[in-house]
Structure 1
Amino acid sequence: MFEDKPKLLGESEALKARLKQLDEFHVAPLTAFVRTLRDKMGSEASIPYFDPWDGGIEAEVLFLLEAPGSKARNSGFVSRNNPDETAKNFFELTSEAGIDRKCTIVWNTVPWYIGSDSKIRPANSADIASGIESLAELLALLPRIRSIVLMGRKAQKAKEHIKQVSPSLIIHTCPHPSPLFVNRLLGNRQILLEQLQAVQSFLEEGESVAS
């Protein structure tokens, strides 16, 4: 019904339709994970859902960013279709790199919104330490996961923790797709694209081994 495009979840009917998909088979365990985390953190914690248009429990790659922005808080999804420039950059760059979103899911090092009503603040060490406590539980729900892509310096602080809880995972790192990075220097977008292309090459190598 809806074309997969940047900022799609800024359209009210598209958002309503996406919410109706939360309990589809491939994403239902992740939806339950978010609901449990919300119960644990309390009513004040704003924790967006995983996007049903991604791979859900069938994902092979987890993209881990910093924390949900205000648009993710408003839409209720961690999604490349959110109506903000970071999500748009992520949508366009992963598409250009040839990465099938059905092979991926997207999450945050700090799963809940941090900041004021109008502006997110940067995640600090305490945020990250608290945020990654549930990461092992998430990974246990992903039987096909092979790699985590840590996007940005804050997410990369989770690297040692990931090595401890899931040492078999391949860890990729790349810059955060925010406009602050992508638009800062002329070559930055290309740097990010090339690193995402390396992730796609990793996926293709796995397909070759499987076949």
Structure 2
Amino acid sequence: MLPTSPRALRDPELRRRRVDEAKTVESVLELNRLVWRISRRERCEDRLPYLDPTYGGVNADVIVLLKAPQADADPRRGEGRLISLDNDDDVAAVLFDLFAELGIDRSRCVGWNICPYPTVGFDPNSDELSRGRGDFDAFLRLLTRPKAILVLGSAVRRGWLDHSFDELLGSEMRVVFGPSPYGIDRRRGARASLRESLLDAFERNADR
């Protein structure tokens, strides 16, 4: 049963169960094996955030692309990190609420970070983005039917464009740019813009 309110992973027992499932549920198993390999390369073995098994995993048709494992997903906060709508942070809470408001089924999507490891600065640098491009290519090859990617935030958009991530996509995939959920209510019109971006990526993609 899915949570009915945001920040559910503040419950350590739920977090423990989700992390265990992330390593066994078939839809995310190969994706999380990729995460493990990246963690080994980055010398933070088994500490990068795994993909939440409540996502659609390899069967997702929409990718939600964020910046890097920060806030509740930051490996420096300890073991058991996840990329999840149920994380105990503001970004996840904003997305949780908008998914609920718009009636979006989370099993239609999968999350990823343009840099799937901690960055030196608040935003990724060019070297980190170059490595992240290769990791995104490996991630994309594991998905069975991706149709759209929702690129969230100015830093992610800049990295996407500057490092030509679009060259990795199939001809049928759509790219939708939207604002970062971080601090969204401090920016005039940003919540409405994010809402429209979600509709564009999910609802206008539903019959494709």
TM-score bracket, normalised by the shorter chain, equals 0.7 to 0.9
Please report the RMSD computed on the Cα atoms of aligned residues, expressed in angstroms: 2.0
What is the aligned counterpart of 2:195 among 173, 189, 193? 193
Q: Deviations over 1:22-46 (max 9, x none)?
A: 2111111111111111122213795
Which residue number in structure 1 is paired with residue 103 of structure 2? Answer: 98
Matched residue count: 200
**Stretch deviating more after TM superposition (126-135 or 15-24):** 126-135
Residues 1:163 and 2:166 aligned together: yes
Q: Deviations over 1:126-147 (max 9, x none)?
A: 3222222211111010011111
SS at match of 1:171: strand
Q: CA deviation at 1:202?
A: 2.2
What is the aligned counterpart of 1:76 among 62, 76, 81? 81
Aligned counterparts of 2:169 and 2:199: Cα–Cα separation in 1: 24
| Structure 2: runs of 5 or more not aligned | none
- Letter paired with 1:29: E
The change in CA–CA distance for 1:71 and 1:151 in structure 2 (over 3 A counts) is: same
Residues 9, 83 of structure 1: 8 Å contact kept: yes
After TM superposition, the score normalised by the length of structure 1 is 0.86
After TM superposition, the score normalised by the length of structure 2 is 0.88
The change in CA–CA distance for 1:46 and 1:19 in structure 2 (over 3 A counts) is: closer
Aligned counterparts of 1:89 and 1:129: Cα–Cα separation in 2: 29
Which residue number in structure 1 is paired with residue 64 of structure 2? Answer: 63
Residues 54, 106 of structure 2: 8 Å contact kept: yes
Which residue number in structure 1 is paired with residue 117 of structure 2? Answer: 112
SS at match of 2:136: helix
Q: CA deviation at 1:56?
A: 0.7
Residues 62, 202 of structure 2: 8 Å contact kept: no
Aligned counterparts of 2:179 and 2:204: Cα–Cα separation in 1: 18
**Stretch deviating more after TM superposition (104-113 or 186-195):** 186-195
SS at match of 2:27: coil
Q: Deviations over 1:45-85 (max 9, x none)?
A: 95211110100111001110111113112341011111011
